[in-house]
Amino acid sequence: MRILGTGSALPARRVTNEELTAFLDTSDEWIRTRTGIAERRVLNEESVLSLAREASLRALENAGLNADDIDMIIVSTAKGETVTPATANLLQGEIGAHCPAFDLNAACSGFLYALDLAQPYIDSGKAQRILITCAEAISRLCDWTDRSTCVLFGDGAGAAIVGAGEGLLATRLTSVPNLGALNAYHDPGNNPFQEHKHPASYLHMAGQEVFKFAVSTSSADLRAVAEAAGVGLAEIDFFVLHQANMRILEAVRTRLGQPKEKFPSNIARTGNTSSASVPILLDELNRSGALTPGMLIAMSAFGAGLTSGAALLRWA
Ligand code: UT7
């Protein structure tokens, strides 16, 4: 399986760190030094669906395909446009595709979960081309009075179309149950027979716990996919990592003993866009011409669950 095309979309509204200081006890200096984030994009006129649509259409154009060429749509989102139907079904209508479509939620690791899920369909020929679109609006999940979370996230969508070819060399997914580290509860509804309901809640995160998990799991996952593919870390051209925190990227880089230029980053402009983060960065690299055929690209993401996912692919 290989990647045939990529696309991405960000909301128009930029929110700088300085703007956040108007209503939060925080500072540009704290956010920059602790996370590497200078600004993020936040939904205003857009929706999760409109971002998904834009990123998907760009990926189709990049791949030179039409919506009718797509055999399956997988949307990764932590909070889709609607509870039901899935955002993937709505996206299908927006782009005019006629194929099975469904959402998956593996939090920030969603892109890697979707890639892994797509591979047997492509390898077996059951599907020729699969659209994977990661569309996230964590601004809808955040408590905008909680400085420990809302400063970290941004909204956006990233998409990739996969099809047959020599490309994906290895994948690895992990999951360990951990409710306390990162969670947000749904509205429990108004069932009069249920006495004890957990109320809906905003995103809660135990930052340092997730930080430690991220560094250890991302380093281990990247080593594992390289080993599974029989590739030395030094041979890998780019490490495209989930943009959660610049210090996490730096800690993983140091553990792997790799140079800075192999770790591209857009976190300063986007913040943490959850599962959209890896495909947005991949699309930016693709469009900038940084990716040339034959390059080895390792990807890694981690998030609520706790989940993690990694992949090694040869750019085709
Ligand atoms: O995509 C999902 C994966 N998520 C992640 O990977 C996030 C992983 N975690 C992190 O990136 C970091 O843990 C954070 C950026 C969330 C926090 O950085 P930290 O260095 O771990 O800070 P901390 O939580 O230990 O907090 C240090 C101090 C605290 O004050 P006291 O108790 O020392 O007085 C916090 O209250 O910083 C305070 N603080 C802030 N101060 C100014 C927390 N948030 C802010 C803020 N502005 N926005």
The angle subtended at Cα 38 by Cα 305 and Cα 214, nearest 5°, is 25
Predicted local distance difference test score (pLDDT) of residue 22: 97
Give Cβ neighbours of residue 171 (< 8 Å, ≥ 6 apart): 112, 115, 116, 119, 225, 309, 310, 311, 312
149-198 pLDDT, tens per residue?
999 999 999 999 999 999 999 999 999 999 999 999 999 999 999 999 99
98-153 pLDDT, tens per residue?
999 999 999 999 999 999 999 999 999 999 999 999 999 999 999 999 999 999 99
Q: Which is it for the CA torsion 304, 151, 38, 15, positive or negative? A: positive
Segment 225-245 shows an average pLDDT of 98
Segment 65-70 shows an average pLDDT of 98
Segment 16-25 shows an average pLDDT of 98
Segment 28-33 shows an average pLDDT of 98
Ligand 1 geometric centre to CA of 260 (Å):
24
CA of 247, closest atom in ligand 1: 11
**How far is it, in rounded angstroms, from Cα 85 to Cα 101?**
10
Band (291; pLDDT cuts 50, 70, 90): very high
Tally DSSP H helices, then E strands, for the chain: 9, 13
Ligand 1 probe mutation, 26, 141, 148, most atoms within 8 A of CB: 148
Predicted local distance difference test score (pLDDT) of residue 25: 98
211-222 pLDDT, tens per residue?
999 999 999 999
CA of 245, closest atom in ligand 1: 11
**Residue 162: beta bridge partners?**
3, 130
Band (278; pLDDT cuts 50, 70, 90): very high
**Residue 174: beta bridge partners?**
308
Q: Is 147 in the pocket of ligand 1 (CB under 6 A)?
A: yes
- Catalytic-residue membership of 99: no
pTM of the model: 0.98
Strand extents, DSSP E, 29-185? 39-41, 72-76, 101-104, 129-137, 155-163, 168-178, 182-183
The angle subtended at Cα 49 by Cα 214 and Cα 56, nearest 5°, is 80
Q: Is 151 in the pocket of ligand 1 (CB under 6 A)?
A: yes
Ligand 1 geometric centre to CA of 51 (Å):
29
Percent of the chain with pLDDT over 90: 99
Ligand 1 geometric centre to CA of 43 (Å):
24
**How far is it, in rounded angstroms, from Cα 152 to Cα 54?**
24
Q: Is 33 in the pocket of ligand 1 (CB under 6 A)?
A: no
Predicted local distance difference test score (pLDDT) of residue 218: 98
- Catalytic-residue membership of 242: yes
Rounded to a whole number of angstroms, the CA Rg of the chain reads 19
Average pLDDT, the chain: 98
